[in-house]
Structure 1
């Protein structure tokens, strides 16, 4: 029901097989609220399998994939949900609901304020998930030559020795992004680079080298990552890349020169099917997207009313407290915004937001802070998910309310929660 998640011991990526062995027994727990639910830590070290057991057989399951994501300068704990499915003969018995209810109970016991998934339409809303934004991509026409037009720049195949430079580059470029995963050594993209053969790296990764000889950009083709494979099936006439990262405008132009020619090179060397365009997923506020504006390109946002990228707030207090570093920076950069105290009523949670010129605090509202002495704003969990991820603007959330909100408070919320372009790179999706 969500897009495919593969936690197994074998992961096939770009022609490589990564074998993950772990002889240590992994803990198995039963859900106290539903003893037929079993939770097992997977050997890959990335996920927990939640499954419903009927007479000793696993009949319905999903995986919880803990991650940390960027929301600007804040790092937010997020639990991804993937691999939701029920065996065919056991469907329409409410088993998926039991599994997802158990997964949410487990996630709410942890430190994640947010859960996200990539789901089918008209299903996950009943579990509190809301659609949180479009898919962003750009397409450029393919070229026959691989020459880089920026003087002093060159592109070459990636090597295992480039891994540290690529990891540093990814971290720097995504530092202010929204939705990008905070990668570790266990992240699938870097795990693939460590385990890939020289031939797989030649086909699956290229880097842009600046005049000083340092790596300033890279592209991962990413065949074998499930999200890349799904997008490739949806766009059979395009050559889909996993991600393209650039540190500056010159690196972005060099990478686009190389990416435009990547499949033409493949056609000559491998005899693969030729596709007239190259599709690069990514938000419109990157150097790559801005460089595409200076050449033949189509930049696209694909919206869906339901399904796709979805989010659910598990604990609004934890989420907002984790967001404080970014919210505080936004508040400092805002001009002539009202400072003071307001109460955010989010479901049953009451959170006090206290802002001064130099500081912002989020904390559970004290009992004495009543609506009569402190301005209050009521928001649903779906609305706070949209605002936290920048999937919509506060004006859109507030315009249809029956209870009018003071203009100063509207301006404060607009400064704290501007609309952004949330995007998780395809190799990190679950």
Structure 2
């Protein structure tokens, strides 16, 4: 647990009154964003109506009773295979310029993590600036992915066989069904429901196109915007693989209309459209950063590991250990967590056991999210482990491609 030095002049809490909320939104819009009016509009409409958002999720810091800083907290659910992890998202972290270098941000973050701890959250997520958030236990676990295709590579494509049009609010359920089906294999994505799309529609609806078949049924969608000479497609969804070529043709047609020479698809490797693009000449990128970007921290490690049970039982069932007994003990954050497998059933307990593996919380986050290979993490300190322990670790913590869609970021 993190502690800050006692300071009688500084206090943090959740917003309680309309006036506190007004002042907090004004500060965040004024300091955090270049376009004050657009930012304030977002905070008062989209932000206020975000699914699961409560007034107290705007956290404020007071210096001698005066507003000195603020941030917003979202409630999200992260998908890790069959596991579902309650996650608190941190955004709009702001310090009033006159109160900088007084530990305002630190106090706000510690206060918010403490709030999460007392309200049943497993993880905390943010998209952060360099060299700051790692001191609170955050690990850069999310990478960015992009596939770039030159438009000349698509010159021979036929016109889309489906009707392409701007999305309408009535399309939201179809878009949502397609997204969820495509997203099953994407680790660490945020579970999205129709309320999330409805909430952001006024801000993003114009970027969404849908493809409909002859009966008017939506079979695919994509979100696109122009950025210089590039058409950036921030998300793609397909109801079936047969729709992929039609989506690509629609994107190529839009790029031509926008005088864009290339298309950049922001899709992670497990996505079916990423698989489809392998047949075209393209550049596949993975951008990895350290101490910035998409970062995660454990809020309650014990409950996080217990919540991984459904996914671990699935992984065991698909492995050579399905009928075996195995045990290991993770030592992290000064505590022990025993994980046992007994013919497919997983048991997690906050007690010590056999086959101990010492990890820092950051190293354990790398394993849980799958952003690094088990052997890479173990080799850092040249840990000597029995072969059966290494095999059990490799089953529990496979390499994944953790990713949060641009639409879901905050």
Which range moved further: 324-333 or 352-361? 352-361
1:343 matched to which residue of 2?
Answer: 329
2:11 matched to which residue of 1?
Answer: 36
Q: Which runs of 4+ in 1 moved over 6 A?
A: 31-35, 143-148
2:29 matched to which residue of 1?
Answer: none
- Work out whether residues 389 and 420 of structure 1, in 8 Å CA contact, stay in contact via their aligned partners in 2: yes
| Count of equivalent residues | 370
The alignment's C-alpha RMSD in Å is 2.9
Q: How far apart, in 1, do the equivalents of 2:58 and 2:207 lie?
A: 30
1:329 paired with 2:314, answer: yes
Among candidates 367, 376, 381, match of residue 396 of structure 1: 376
Change (3 A) 1:60 1:151: closer
After superposition, residues 1-400 of structure 1 pair within 5 angstroms as 36-40=11-15, 43-45=48-50, 46=53, 48-142=57-151, 149=158, 153-187=162-196, 189-193=197-201, 203-210=206-213, 214-221=217-224, 236-265=228-257, 267=258, 274-336=259-321, 339-365=325-351, 369-370=352-353, 374-400=354-380
Q: How far apart, in 2, do the equivalents of 1:163 and 1:110 lie?
A: 31
**TM-score scaled to structure 1, two decimals?**
0.78
**Gaps in structure 1 of 5+ consecutive residues:** 1-30, 224-231, 268-273
Which range moved further: 238-247 or 97-106? 238-247
Q: How far apart, in 2, do the equivalents of 1:32 and 1:322 lie?
A: 36
| Deviation digits for residues 215-238 of structure 1 (CA, Å, limit 9, x no counterpart) | 2321123x6xxxxxxxx7xx6432
Change (3 A) 1:207 1:145: farther
Aligned to 1:179, what secondary structure does the other structure show? Answer: coil
Change (3 A) 1:158 1:51: same
Q: How far apart, in 2, do the equivalents of 1:361 and 1:297 lie?
A: 45
Q: How far apart, in 1, do the equivalents of 2:65 and 2:195 lie?
A: 32
Change (3 A) 1:148 1:160: farther
Q: CA deviation at 1:411?
A: 0.8
**Gaps in structure 2 of 5+ consecutive residues:** 1-5, 22-47
1:428 paired with 2:403, answer: no
| Deviation digits for residues 247-287 of structure 1 (CA, Å, limit 9, x no counterpart) | 3332222212211222333x4xxxxxx33222221201211
Q: CA deviation at 1:336?
A: 4.6
Aligned to 1:62, what secondary structure does the other structure show? Answer: strand
Q: How far apart, in 1, do the equivalents of 2:154 and 2:343 lie?
A: 55
Q: CA deviation at 1:117?
A: 0.8
Q: How far apart, in 1, do the equivalents of 2:170 and 2:73 lie?
A: 32
**TM-score scaled to structure 2, two decimals?**
0.82
Aligned to 2:365, what secondary structure does the other structure show? Answer: helix
Q: How far apart, in 2, do the equivalents of 1:353 and 1:211 lie?
A: 53
Q: CA deviation at 1:327?
A: 1.2
